[in-house]
Structure 1
Amino acid sequence: MKEILCIIGSCISLQLGAALAVQLFPVASTWGTAIVRLVTAGMLLCALVRPRVSRWTRTQWGAVVLFGASLGLMNGFFYAAIGRIPLGTAITIEFLGPLLLAAVLSRSLADALCVLLALCGIALLGLDSLTGSALDPVGAVFALIAGGFWVCYILASQRAGRLVPGQGGLAVALLLGGVVLVPLGAPGAATITTDPSLLLLAAGTGLLASLIPYSLELAALRGLTPNAFSVLIALEPVFAAFFGWLLLAQPVTVLKGAAVCLVVAASILQTLTTSRRRPKKPASLEPVSC
């Protein structure tokens, strides 16, 4: 029960952090907001865990650098997406990345059904954009790119988790992720750092969207199998749609709601069918969302 509450708390914190970040977009840009969020969370986590980077080998550093680059680009493109399209829609589209990765690695009739369900969900989003409020195509592309980097993040995080014990790899990866985005968002990040009120808001975003959910998920993984974790984290598009409606006044139409349900169902089905075919492995560093 405690682990389930941790996952639910993580989903809530992530979406609250994303909704809070949207308030910074007009003055600091999406890229600048992502930089400050990642760097703030990385500094806080480094202060807590004090990673002994001087003892890391070249292999460990290489794994953490790839981890940080994928983490930064995943977050940057996701923020660029929610700057143009609703939060729930962006999360739903982004979920295609991990889902397709699982399908490619498994290859079965059940996997094909999962992909078909997810594609039907995306088709419903497209239909909704034609019959209701138009869906910004650039925002949708940004969400797809974020999903692609989520795939890279999953692979890089698993490798970094095996090579670097504890949370030190995550702490440094957060800092590196912010650095990767500097060419795209340096002016916006500078705007935040020169205004105490904006800096406080950005710090809250870093806590809610990075430090708290990552810590809760790592705590949950100590008592959950990867299969159970993946099923629970698939609820994230639902929370995203709810908080987008509650905090950002983003409407949830019938078609959008159906699209979210189809993607969530595809993710759960993918997880359940995969777990039946493969022996359970101990979790190291599971994929987390934006």
Structure 2
Amino acid sequence: MKLRGSALMLGSGLSNQVGAAVAALAFPVLGPVGVVAVRQWTAAAVLVTAGRPRIRAFTAGQWRPVLGLAAVFAVMNLSLYTAIARIGLGLAVTLEFLGPLTIALLGSRRRADLACAVAVGAAVVVLTRPRPSTDYLGIGLALLAAVCWGCYILLNRTVGERLPGAQGSAAAAAVSGLLYLPVGVVVLWQHPPSAGVLGCALAAGVLSSAVPFLADLLALRSVPARFFGIFMSVNPVLAALVGLVVLGQHLDVPAWLAIAVVVCVNVVASAPGRAST
């Protein structure tokens, strides 16, 4: 069962990063905004079908975290995709990964986690080391995506407590899709995509939303939640590899080492024994 769960988690991570790379192929025509709009619509269709939210029965106390989650969905995906367009897939995803990693570190009182925080800080400096060509806006957008991912974790926990099953996530995805409806229609109208470009945007929605959602749901039935969290640390590595193979985005040796540090720190931060020392 654990082997099956590991395979599902690896497939989920690979699907997510391949989806982001495929999305980048549509950026020249639709731009990140257009691609994110199509992705949000696809995610909404999949999650609403799977979650079947009874929206009319939601109370005000249930709607508040759902609307917050919808806003996080909208900002997180747009900031990440815009960052990918500016600084590349590997760097953008690694910086975004600082969001859940920060949540993990803040939730611990171990002295070792202070060293972990210092190591992550050093890794980020290496990844974003200032040069005349440094894209500070792209880095800032990736860090905004990190903040959103951290908020997503906290809000998703609240939504899960107030709504059963996937109803909260489905409703949030639907609201987020509606938010992108006006701008998405304008972008598609002004920049009519070819079948190939539209296919890339739709594939991004399926690969980065539908497949990971279903794979993660099945994986969590086979492996402990903590192991699932640790395995998530493979995403920055997968992003760098997919960026290299699919998009031809090369990272230098210091960047690879910095990514390795971020991954290792996440494993330490998510490991058992997080009691106060």
- Kindly tell me: are residues 230 and 195 of structure 1, through their superposed partners in 2, closer, same or farther at Cα, counting changes over 3 Å? same
State which drifts further: 153-162 or 55-64: 55-64
Asked if residue 228 in structure 1 is aligned to residue 230 in structure 2, the reply is no
Displacement after TM superposition at 1:101 (Å): 2.4
Counterpart of 1:285 in structure 2 is: none
Contact 1:11 1:239 in 2 (8 A): yes
The CA RMSD over aligned residues, in Å, is 2.3
Structure 2 residues not aligned, in runs of 5+: none
Counterpart of 2:107 in structure 1 is: 105
Displacement after TM superposition at 1:197 (Å): 4.2
Structure 1 residues not aligned, in runs of 5+: 279-290
Displacement after TM superposition at 1:175 (Å): 2.4
The 1-side partners of 2:183 and 2:136 are apart by 20
State which drifts further: 162-171 or 201-210: 162-171
Q: How does 1:43-122 map to 2 (within 5 A)?
A: 43-122=45-124
Asked if residue 263 in structure 1 is aligned to residue 262 in structure 2, the reply is yes
The 2-side partners of 1:182 and 1:80 are apart by 18
- Kindly tell me: are residues 107 and 15 of structure 1, through their superposed partners in 2, closer, same or farther at Cα, counting changes over 3 Å? same
Contact 2:128 2:139 in 1 (8 A): no
Q: Return structure 1 stretches of 4+ with deviation > 6 angstroms.
A: none
- The alignment's TM-score, normalised by the length of structure 2, stands at 0.90
The 1-side partners of 2:190 and 2:211 are apart by 25
Cα deviations across residues 32-86 of structure 1 (Å, max 9, x unaligned)?
A: 2112101112113323443222222222222211111112211111011001011
Displacement after TM superposition at 1:166 (Å): 1.8
The 2-side partners of 1:183 and 1:118 are apart by 39
Percent identity between matched residues is: 33
Asked if residue 170 in structure 1 is aligned to residue 159 in structure 2, the reply is no
Which residue identity is paired with 2:84?
I
Contact 1:93 1:144 in 2 (8 A): yes
Displacement after TM superposition at 1:111 (Å): 1.6
Contact 2:39 2:201 in 1 (8 A): yes
Q: How does 1:208-247 map to 2 (within 5 A)?
A: 208-247=207-246
Displacement after TM superposition at 1:142 (Å): 0.4
Cα deviations across residues 214-268 of structure 1 (Å, max 9, x unaligned)?
A: 1111211122222101110001000000000000000121111101101001111
- The alignment's TM-score, normalised by the length of structure 1, stands at 0.87
Contact 1:51 1:168 in 2 (8 A): yes
Contact 1:51 1:169 in 2 (8 A): yes
Counterpart of 2:273 in structure 1 is: 276
Which residue identity is paired with 1:187?
V
Displacement after TM superposition at 1:172 (Å): 2.1
